[in-house]
Structure 1
Amino acid sequence: MTSTPPPDFDRETAVHPRPGEPGAYDADLPGAWKVGQGINGGVLLSMTARALSAELGTPRDDRPGHPDPLSVSAYYLSTATAGPAVVRTETVRRGNSVSHGAAELLQQDPETGLPAPRLRVLAAYGALADQPDDVRTSAKPPALAPVEECIGSHAAPPEFRAESPMLTRTDLRLDPSCVGWAVGAPSGRGEMKGWFRLPETRDPDPLLLLTVLDILPPVSFDLGVIGWAPTLELTAHVRASPAPGRLRVIHTTRNVAGGYMEEDAEIWDSADRLVAQSRQLARLPRQS
C-alpha cells in the first residue's frame, strides 16, 4: 500500500531530529520559496516554529505539551539561501498553560565553512484548542473584491516573477486597489491586501499562518518604492487555529523613515475571525 505524500508546504518546511543532538533538527531550505536575494522570511519562521513545536509539544516533567505558537519574535541576522540548515532549540521554561522556547536557524557559511546564524527566535507556545471562545474586538476584516476579480500572481511583471520563484508556490490574489505599482501608478496609501491559499489541498493551520504574515509584496511597492525589502525583526501573535478555506491578508504601513518601515499584518479566516497579527521592521529597497 502506497502512503500519501505530505502536502508540498509540509514537506518543504519539514525538520528532522538530528541523531545524538537533543533539540537539534536538520532542515533543507526550499529554493522554491526564494524571493529577492534569499528565502522568504515567513517560511523560515514556519520552519523554525515547527522545530519548537516538536520540542514544546511533547508532554514532559509532568507538564502538558504546548504545540502551538502564541507569540513569536524573530530577528533575521543574515540572508538564508537554498540548501541544508540546522535548527537548534532550547526549552526556556515549561508551564501548565504556556511554555517558552528559543531557537536559532543556522547554515554553513560558504566562505568560512563555519555555522552562520540566519534567524533567532524567542517564543511562547500553548494549546490553541484549550483557549476560550470569547472574542471582543473592534477590528474588522479587510474589504476585498471577490476572488475572481482579484489579480493573481501570474499577472506580476516578468522581472518580478523572475526574482520571486515563490509566486509559483501560492494562490495569492491581490485586491485591484493595490496593484497600481505594477503599471507605475501606486496608490500611495501604503497598503497591500488580498486572498491567500496554498495551491495544494491543505487547510491552513497555525504554522502556515506564520508564513502568510510575510507573504504579500512589500507595502513600499504601494508607495512607489520597488525592490527587495528584507525583514530585520518580526513579532507574530497567533490568536486561533484558522477555519478551512481562503485567508484574507492585509499589510499596512504608517511610517517610513530613515530607510526603514514598519509593516502591520492581519490574517482573517473564512469564519471572519482575526487569527493572526504581526508587526515587522523592514529595510526599504535600496534605490540606484
Structure 2
Amino acid sequence: MQVTALDLWRRPMFRRFWAGETISFLGNQITDLALPLTAVLLLGATAEQMGVLAATWYLPYLVFGLPAGVWIDRMRRQRILVGLDLTAAAVVLIVPVAAWAHMLRMELLYVVSFVLGSTVVVFTVAYQSFVPTLVGRSDIAAANAALETTTSITTIAGPGLGGLLVQVLMAPFALLVDAASFLVSAALIGSIRVTEPASISAVERRSMLEEIRDGVRYVRGTPVLFALVRGGAIHNFFSRMIDALFVLFAVRQLTLDATTIGLILAAGGPGSFIGSLIANRVPARIGLG
C-alpha cells in the first residue's frame, strides 16, 4: 500500500521534522533575497562585490560538500540539525544589529554569507540522512517526495515573502523574520523523540579522506550518478553567474522594487513543485535506481 503525505502528517515525530525543515528552508529563501538587497540598497555594492558575496555563499558547497557527509555519519543528526538552526539564527541577527548600530560593511556580509552557506550545506545533508530514522525503509521515497513538495513551495513563497518584507521593513531588518524562522525550526526538530542508530565508533572509523575517496570512486563508477554530477556542475556554474548579478541588474538597470524582484524569483518555483508531486509515482513505476 502506497503511503500518502497525509499518512506521514499523522505521524507526530515526522510532522515536527517536516514542519521544522520547511520553516528552515523558507528562512533560507528570505535570506537569499534580503542579503543581496541589503548589499545593493544599503551599501551600494559594485558588481565585483556582488560577485564576491555570491561566491562566499556557494563556496561552502565546494569546501564542505564532501566532508559533511562523512562527518554527519559520525554524529547524531538531530543534534546537528538543531545546532545548525541555532547557529544560522545567531549569524543572521548580526546583520540587522550591525545596520542599527551603523557598523554594517560588505566584509561583514561576506562572513555572514559564508557561515550561512555552510549551515545550508550541512543541514541539507543531515536532514536527508535523518529521514530514514523517522520512517520505515519502504516509506523513504514518499517521505522525500513530501519534503521536496514543501521545499518547492518555499521556493515559490520565500522570494515573494522576502521581497514584501524588504519593502516593508527595509532589507537588513527583514532578516529578523529569518532569524525567528530558524529558532522555530530548532524548537520543532529539538522536540522530536526518536532513537537514532549508533554512530560509527572510533574503532570502526576510517580516515575522512579514505571515505571521501571511496564515495568519489563510487560515483565515478556509477554512470547515472556521474552523469548527474556533471550535468549539475555545468548547470550550477552558469546559473550562479546569473545569481551573482541579478539583484544588482534588477535594482540599478530595471529600477524594480523588492516586491517585484521577489515575484520574479518566485516564478521559477512552480516547475519544481509539479515535479515533486509526481516524484513519488515515478519510483513506483520504474524503480529507484
Structure (1 or 2) with the larger CA radius of gyration: 2
TM-score range, shorter chain: under 0.3
| Structure number with higher helix proportion | 2
Q: Please, what TM-score do these two structures have when normalized by structure 1?
A: 0.24
| Structure number with higher strand proportion | 1
Q: Please, what TM-score do these two structures have when normalized by structure 2?
A: 0.24
Structure with greater contact order relative to length (CA < 8 Å, sep ≥ 6): 2
